[in-house]
Each structure stands twice: as C-alpha cells, then as structure tokens.
Amino acid sequence: MKVAVVYNRESTNVINLFGQRNKEKYGLKAIRRITDALKKGGHQVIALEGDKDLIRRLEEFMPKVLHHERPGMVFNVSYGIQGQARYTHVPGILEMIGIPYVGSGPLAHSLALDKLVAKMIFRQMGLPTPDYVVLQSPDSPIPDFTYPAIVKPKNESVSFGIKVVHNADEMKAAAQVIFEKFSQPVLVEQFIDGREVNVGLIGNPPQVLPPVELTFGDQGPQIYTEEDKKGKSGRTIGKICPAPLGDGLTEKVKSVSAGAFEALGCFDCARVDLRIDADDNPYILEINSLPSLGEHGSFVEAAGEAGLDFSALVNRLVEVASARYFGTPAVAEVDWDAGAGAQDAMFRTLTQSRDRIERRVKELVAIPSRTEDLVGLRDVVRSIDKPYRELGLSRTRDLTDDRSCWTYETEPGLDGGTLLIVQLDVPAGDGDLRTPFRRDPEWLYGDAVGASRGPLAVVEYALRALKTHRRLKRQKLGILLYGDEGLHAVHSGAKIRAAAERAKQVLVVRPGTATGQLINERRGLRTYRLIVEGSPRRLGQQSKKPEPLRWTSQCLEHMAPLSNRKERVAVAASQINAKALPGQLPHVVRAEILVSHPEEAVRDRIDGELRKILGKDGHRWDLESIADRPAFGRRKSALGLLKRVEDVAARWQLPYETESSLSPSVAGLVPERIATICGFGPVVRDIYTPHESVQRISLMQTTLLLAGTLVDLGE
C-alpha cells in the first residue's frame, strides 16, 4: 500500500502566519523511524509536511483510484502549524479530499483538545475525572478551591503551561502566564495526590495495552511537566510497565480508559492519562488522541510489553485503520486459476503497478524518435526489445523491416490470434522543440506521451500482468510497432496489412476520443499536392487571367462548398506557398489539400469534383495524391469483440463507450473481415503539440481493459 507519513516540523508554508503557533513536533529521527518501519512492512512510503501544498503532493503520490481499487493511506502524526484545534487540520483536509488515514477524525481530536468539553463528556458518561473550574479571562475572579490544584491551558496538550499551585495567589500568577502565553481560558483542576498511569489503546474497539506507571522521584512536582518531556527538568522520569496495580485495579484502569476512548469517538489509537488516589480510585486527566510515537514514550513502551516492537506497532496501526475503512486489514488472496479470480488477481497486480507504469512512460518520453529520425526510432525499439524478450516474445522476421515496422509474437504465434498495433514515432519536425516529461496530479506531459509513450507502457504492463498470471505463454498474440505515422504509414502499410491478415482480431492501441471512448469508425483522409504554374508577371501588368496566386485562391474558395456534414465530407487547404522571381508576382503556387471522407466511393467522387473545379482554361496545374489513409468503417465482424471488451469494462466498472472519429488511423489498413477496434489507448489532450498530455487514471484504466480483454480472448 502507498502510505504517506504526514507530519509538521518547521514548515511555514502557509498563506499567512498568524494565531497560536504549534509547539509540538516530531524530530527527523522519529520520522525516519516511522518511514523505515512502514517500508519494512512492505509499504511504499513518502514523508510530507502537512502544509498548504499537502493536497497537491498527496494527489501526485496517490492519484485518484479506480472503482474497487484500494487507495493509499496517510499515517498522520501531524500536530498542525497554527491556529485553533491544530490536531484537526490534516484530518479535516483528508476527509475533504477522500484519503483514508491512521488515527482519530477531526471531531474526536477537537473534543480531546478541549479539556473542558472532554471532562463534561466523561462526567456525563459516568467516567471519573477530577473536579474543575474554568477561568475565562484574566479578570475572572479566583474561585474558592481545594488546594493543591493543577493549572493548565484549556486547549493544549503535552503538559504545556501546566503547574501545581497551593494557594489563590499562585493560582492567579500561573493563570496570568497562560493567558499571556497561550491566549486561551485556564482550566483549574483538583490535584489528585497519588500515582500517575498512562494507558495506550489500539484498535476499533480498542485493545488496551499494559498500563505504564510514571515515577517522579523525590525532587520536583509529582506531575509530568513540559520540562520533563523536553529533558530540561534535571530529573529522570521513570516508567514501570506493566504498572504494579494488581489485577483488580488494572482491570478498572483499563475499563475507564476504554470508556474514555469510546466516549470521545476516537479511532485506531490513543493514550489516556490517569491519576490513582490513595483509595485506588482512578481519575481521567485527559486523553491524547494523537499519542506520541517517540522512542521512549509510554505508548511505544506499552506496545513493546504487549509484544509489538516499533515496526510491528507502526504497521499494526496501518492494519487497524485499514480494517476500519475497508473491512479487513489485508485483501484476501484470490486463486488466479479460479474463474473470475483470475481477473481479480490481474486487477490487484496492475493497480499495484501504477508507479512502475508511469516511470516507464517517463523513460520512453526521454528517448527522442521523430518520424525521420531512424536512429531515434531504433533507440526506442531497443528499449522495448529487452522487456519483450524477457516476456518470451520473439521478432517476426517477415513482418519486420527494421526501418518503419517491427513485429513481435508469443510462442504460440500470431496466426488466428490477436494483433496489437502501436505507434513509435513522434510526428514532428527535427527543428521542433522537445517537451520533457513532467507530472501533475491528473496528467502526465511530454513528447508523444499520449500518442505513443503511454500506449507503449500500457501494452508492456498488460503483457507483464499476463505473464505474472501464466496467461501469456499460451496466448496467440502479436505486437506490431510502426514508426511512420508522421508519413501516413506509407512504408509500414504493407506490413500492417500482412500482419492483420494473419490475425483473428486487431486492437489498435492509440488514443481514442478526447473523453476516452473506443473507436469503431474513423474517416479516411486523402492528402493532395496541388502545383499551379503561370508566366512571371510584373505588378500592374495586364492579363486576361488572374495571376496564379489569386487564381489558386479562387479555386480553393470554390472547393470549400464540397464539405458536407451530412455526407461526412470535409475539404480544406492546409498550407499554401508561392514562388516569385525578384520584382515579379508569384508564378508558382503550391498548396496542400485535405479531403476527409467516409468511404472510397465518396473519396473518388470528390476527386473528380476537385479536378472539375481546377478545369482546363486556367493556369497549368497538377493535382497529385501524396497520402491516402483509408476509412475505417463500422464492421459486423467487430460486434462480438466489442461485446467482450464491454463485459471486461463492466466487470471492473471501467469507462466504456464507442464513438466515431474524424481523424484517420492505421485501423483503416486492416481488411474488412477482421474484427478491429481502434482507440485502445489512454485519454489524451493536445495531441502532437508541446502541451500533449495523458490522463493518469486513464493510463491505469486502459492497461486494465487491455489485459482483461486479452485474458478473455485467450480463454
């Protein structure tokens, strides 16, 4: 599990600093002990300050989870930075953003911190606590009270400001210090002359740990002071565990402590501090809803006496919190050979691989592979070749040319199985700036991160999951990697057709729609190069024909009405260049014309219309088709395949919809009789721009959908 240890130490990373500053904090050594213990327990761990950047950092570390996927957890040891009810700040944030955490919630923390409210609840629940009064302000009259008494801040912990007083003057002086130092009411409490005991609790309902008795020696007050806790009092506070109370008193102390835990609604852990008078009557002084995990603290010592060393204690706290949130401390193991259990085990394997998938995307983004960069393309192939061979795949020589197409297959081979097609190249010019990898809470950015690098990682980890669960070795499967998307697959097209002819079904692993739908229909795209030539002409020279640039513009204007939404046709010029001699008007014009179409018959009709518009009476012209991307129409052959994918999506409650797309893909090269689905890639935005990004959760969803579909197809 991903576990973030959230603490407060020296952070001032807030919008404004004001109000009462926190005086409690963990040392770096203590934080390291906690993180090391969690790592020892097999968790993936990070330590974070509980400041204004906490949400962003948590979202990066443990992004939004899938349905049924267990989220990460926060191990909360944060005392807050400033202001009121500081213990509640981090738990309140975690409640709001939906991240589970170890320890009590905001309500229990706020009740425990307000000693007056806590004592009122204890009294109402029939739990013993010393008599008390409250001084609301420095002007409050000093009450009649039985001395000695304890004076303390109403809303602080760890013995801040605590003092034993023996008369009214001492009470007034001690209260004045608290008003000045802590700016809050003063709690005056009857001093219980006797023994002091700390009782730790773990679980829901709580398991009570062996009580720890504190011994104060003969010097100083018989209470645990702030100076004692900081090691500045000059005396050593002894701890006896288990406290020698006898069976009857021990049970009474445990019962009272458990009652306090439940009365305030604490979760997972707490420590109750009590005094026991000469007649063996226990009194609750307070409950610490965020007990210290300091190396020499009584909570840690009691856990050790109960058989939990520090590592076991820390991991036990994660387990009890997991049980509270998820019902069991650990997910029950499922036999991968048992029907649906195979899918459940696959789900677990892949969701635990999130970080590795994203790291793989980062590695691939770092390898440049522009369409014309054969060296870069081969570098990407080398990066992919090693894991593929480790997975048991081998090169299919007759479907590989080492320039634009590389094909791999499993031991059973591709014939009659599934072909995956993935793009390798980045369709951009050599002079275009590369976009480095970066990550925010919801998106991954970088060169071709969505068009190529994300899909490559999806395929690799889907295959890894199949191998982990012994499905890959018997899977009829081929993976074709092509590197000329930027050249409209003119070189790889023949290999793609040949590979598809051998398969039973084809999955094109490239981005779907902007919202993640799979593609069951794509328009074709024909790209024309138009060259218009005329005679050189000076500015102002008369002629019966408009100059070539103006004439070309008029022709393009007449082509625009050929676009027809009903017929799903679009015609447009994508670029125009003109060439002129010095001092002359342009006499050569080059234009690129794009025609988007639903089928070949429509494409051919539009071809005739374009040539008719250019006519015979204008300038000399040449219209040449330089790239032709076939349309990918809806196929009856794909209905069964789509139903299988839909069933996998429903099983894991993954998004599933199908949609048509305006943009072409290599899916149009696959013969009509072959069941084919396109858009089997993660959600991408701003594709082929410097802002291209892939949605992090969709990377996981697509990997699951692909792996589950392959398992289903391999049955």
pLDDT of residue 245: 95
Whether residue 322 is contained in a domain is answered as no
What is the residue-wise DSSP string for 644-684? HHHHHHHHHT----EEEESS--GGGGS-TTSEEEB--S--E
Helix (H) or strand (E) segment spanning residue 613: helix 600-614
Domain extent at residue 205:
111-309
**Final residue before a domain boundary, out of 44, 75, 101:** 101
What is the Cα–Cα distance from 508 to 255, expressed in whole angstroms? 64
Whether residue 462 is contained in a domain is answered as yes
What is the Cα–Cα distance from 505 to 256, expressed in whole angstroms? 68
Strand 207-208 relative to strand 186-190, pairing: unpaired
With 0-12 CB in 10 A as exposed, 13-18 as middle and 19+ as buried, what is 417?
buried
Asked if residue 497 and residue 356 are part of one domain, the reply reads yes
Whether residue 329 is contained in a domain is answered as no
Side-chain-side CA neighbours of 670 within 13 Å: the count stands at 33
Asked if residue 511 and residue 372 are part of one domain, the reply reads yes
Q: Which residues, other chains included, contact 146 with Cβ-Cβ below 8 Å and sequence gap of 6+?
A: 131, 190
Strand 418-423 relative to strand 207-208, pairing: unpaired
Whether residue 316 is contained in a domain is answered as no
Asked if residue 371 and residue 255 are part of one domain, the reply reads no
CATH of the domain at 498: 3.40.630.10
Query: Please, what is the angle between helix 28-40 and helix 310-326, to 10°?
Result: 70
Total number of domains in the chain:
4
368 upstream amide cis, omega within 30 of 0:
no
Strand 518-522 relative to strand 658-661, pairing: parallel
pLDDT of residue 557: 95
Whether residue 388 is contained in a domain is answered as yes
Asked if residue 638 and residue 589 are part of one domain, the reply reads no
pLDDT of residue 226: 62
Asked if residue 252 and residue 140 are part of one domain, the reply reads yes
Whether residue 18 is contained in a domain is answered as yes
Per-residue HEC secondary structure of 354-390 comes to HHHHHHHHHHHHCCCCECCCHHHHHHHHHHHHHHHHH
Supply the DSSP symbol for 413: -
Phi-psi region of 148 (alpha: psi -120 to 50; beta: other; left: phi over 0): beta
**Could you tell me which of 224, 284, 221 has the C-alpha nearest to residue 254?**
284
Whether residue 336 is contained in a domain is answered as no
What is the Cα–Cα distance from 586 to 273, expressed in whole angstroms? 93
CATH of the domain at 24: 3.40.50
pLDDT of residue 345: 76
Supply the DSSP symbol for 437: P
pLDDT digits (tens, 9 = 90+) for 406-453: 999 999 999 999 999 999 999 875 556 789 999 988 999 999 999 999
pLDDT of residue 429: 58
Distances (CA, A) of 547 to 13, 204, 296, 585, 616: 66, 87, 92, 8, 16
**Final residue before a domain boundary, out of 582, 604, 629:** 629
Q: How far is CA 580 from the centre of its chain?
A: 56
Asked if residue 618 and residue 642 are part of one domain, the reply reads no
Asked if residue 391 and residue 452 are part of one domain, the reply reads yes
Asked if residue 530 and residue 512 are part of one domain, the reply reads no
pLDDT of residue 343: 66
CATH of the domain at 298: 3.30.470.20
Q: Which residue(s) pair with 445 in the sheet?
A: 438, 693
What beta strand segments (E) does 349-503 contain?
A: 394-395, 405-409, 418-423, 438-439, 443-445, 477-482
Asked if residue 411 and residue 297 are part of one domain, the reply reads no
Asked if residue 535 and residue 511 are part of one domain, the reply reads no
Q: Low-confidence residues of the chain, pLDDT below 70?
A: 11, 19, 157-159, 220, 225-234, 328-343, 429-432
pLDDT digits (tens, 9 = 90+) for 144-153: 888 899 898 8
pLDDT of residue 337: 38
**Final residue before a domain boundary, out of 564, 594, 629:** 629
Asked if residue 670 and residue 705 are part of one domain, the reply reads yes
Asked if residue 461 and residue 391 are part of one domain, the reply reads yes
Whether residue 513 is contained in a domain is answered as yes
